[in-house]
Amino acid sequence: MSVPLPTDPGPTGGGRLSRRLGLFDATTAVIGGIVGAGIFLNPSVVARLVPAPWAILSAWILGGFIALAGAWIYAELGSERPAPGGQYAYFRDAFHPCVAFLYGWGLLWVIQSGGMAAVGVTFAKYFAGMLGWSSDPRLLAAGAILFLTLVNCWGVRAGASTQSFFTVLKAVAIAGLIVCGLFLTGPASATTVESVGLTQPMGMADFMSAMVPVLFAYGGWQTACFLAGEIREPERNLPRALVLGIAVVITLYLATNAACLRSLGASGLAATNTPASEVMRRALGEPGAQWIAAGIVVSTFGFLSQGMLTTPRVYYAMAQDGVFFSALGRVHPGSQAPIAAIILQGVVASIVAFSGSYETILNYVVSVDFIFYGLAGICVFVFRHRDGKRPRFQVPGHPWTTLGFSGVCWWVVANLVVQNPADALKGLFILALGAPVYWFWSRPSRRRNPVG
C-alpha cells in the first residue's frame, strides 16, 4: 500500500484537505459527474438531427469512444499529479498560471455553474410536475443547489455519501428504463423504425451537430480529478475510477438508446421531447411515466450533488496559489471542507439558473468546456517530454488517441461557433474577461496582500 500524499497547505495557509475517499467514492463521482439530465433528454435531440437508427447509435458509440479516450488522458494526468483542483493543477504546471486561472474562471462562470444550472432547471421542471407546483421552477432549482451547498459544507464525507447514494439510485432508474424498453414494450412498427432519415439526405454537418448533445451527455468525468487531494492512494484509485466509471456509463447510454429505438423507432424518438417518459408510458402506462419522472429527479439531483462536492476544490486550489480570494483556500477545522469555496459555487450556480433555457446554456457551456478538454490532451505531451519518465498509467494508443481526442474537442468548439454563434461567443466572451481579472490578482502587490 502506498503512503497517502499530504496536501500542501500552500502560501495562504488555512489547513489541509483530508484523504477520506476510496475507490467506490471516486467511481461514483465519475458516474455522478456524467449522468444527469442528458441521457433522459438528449436521445430525442440527437434523433432530430440524424433521424436514422444507424446514425443515432453511431453518434452515441463514437461519443463513448471519445469519452473513453478522455478518461485515459485524465487517468495518466491524475496518476502522475494527484493534486487538489485536477485540471487546474495540470494547466498550471504544463503551461502557465494564467491558463489555469482562465480554466477556474470559466468553470465558475460558465462550465460548472452553467451545467449545474441547466440540469437544475430540468430537475425543477420534473419535480414541480410531480408536486403540481405552478410557480417558477427556477426557484426550485436554486433551492436545490443551495440545499446541497449546505450538505457539502458539513464535510467531504457527507457530500460523498450523498452523491454516492443518488448515483446508485440513478443507475437503478436507468436500468429500469432499459429493461422496460427492451423487454416490456412491443417493437416499434416497421414504418416507424425505417424513419424519414433513410430517405432524407443527411450530411456530415448534421452528424457533427448531433455530437454536441452526445458529448455533453458524456462529459463530466474530469470533475472526479478535482477530488485528487481527498482520494486515498490517488495514483492507483483515480485511474481505476475513471476507466471503470466511463465503462459503466457507456454501457448504460448505449443500452438506453437501444431501448428507446426499439420502443419508439427513430421517428418516434425524434418526435418526443421526453423519450424516457414515453418509453415508460408504453411499458407500464401512466404509473411508468411517473416512475421515470421520479428517476429523472433523482438523477439530476445527484448530478447537482456531485458538482457541489467536486468543483469548489478548484477555487480552493486557486486561492492556495494566491490568485483568488484567500478565504476560498481555507478549510474548516471541523468539517475539513473548503466552506467558502462551496458557498461561492452554490450562489453562482443558483444565479445562472435564471439565465436561460437548457439548450442555450448547453451551447455556451460546451463552447468553453471543450477548449480545456483539448488542452488536457496537450498536457500529456508536455509532461512526458518534461519529466522524461514512464508514467504509472499510460494512455493506450498515444500519441494518436491523444491527438484525436484534442482535435475532436476543438472541432466541436469550431462547429458550435459556426452553427450557434450567439450562444458560443457568449461563453467565449465570459472566458476572455478572466484575463484582466488574472492580471489584477497576479500583481506582486496583490500576491503579497491577498484579499480574503
DSSP 367-394: HHHHHHHHHHHHHHHHHHHHH-S--SS-
Pull the grid cell for residue 27.
467511481
| Global confidence as pTM | 0.81
The pLDDT of residue 10 is 41
- The candidate with the shortest Cα–Cα distance to 56, out of 293, 259, 357, is 259
pLDDT over 70, % of the chain: 87
Q: What is the mean pLDDT of the chain?
A: 82
Q: What is the mean pLDDT of the segment spanning 280-287?
A: 90
CATH of the domain at 391: 1.20.1740.10
Eight-class DSSP state of 8: P
Question: Does a structural domain hold residue 319?
Answer: yes
The pLDDT of residue 375 is 95
Question: Does a structural domain hold residue 350?
Answer: yes
* Grid-cell match 455533453, residue found: 216
* Grid-cell match 484509485, residue found: 237
Question: Does a structural domain hold residue 13?
Answer: no
Number of domains in the chain: 1
- The candidate with the shortest Cα–Cα distance to 60, out of 195, 252, 264, 281, is 252
Q: What is the mean pLDDT of the segment spanning 412-433?
A: 86
Question: Does a structural domain hold residue 4?
Answer: no
pLDDT band at 404 (very low <50, low <70, confident <90, very high): very high
- The residue type of 309 is L
Question: Does a structural domain hold residue 17?
Answer: no
Question: Does a structural domain hold residue 8?
Answer: no
- The residue type of 126 is Y
Question: Does a structural domain hold residue 145?
Answer: yes
The pLDDT of residue 4 is 34
* Contact predicate 50/59, CB 8 Å: yes
* Contact predicate 391/384, CB 8 Å: yes
Question: Does a structural domain hold residue 449?
Answer: no
Residue 450 has pLDDT above 50, yes or no: no
Domain encompassing residue 431: 23-442
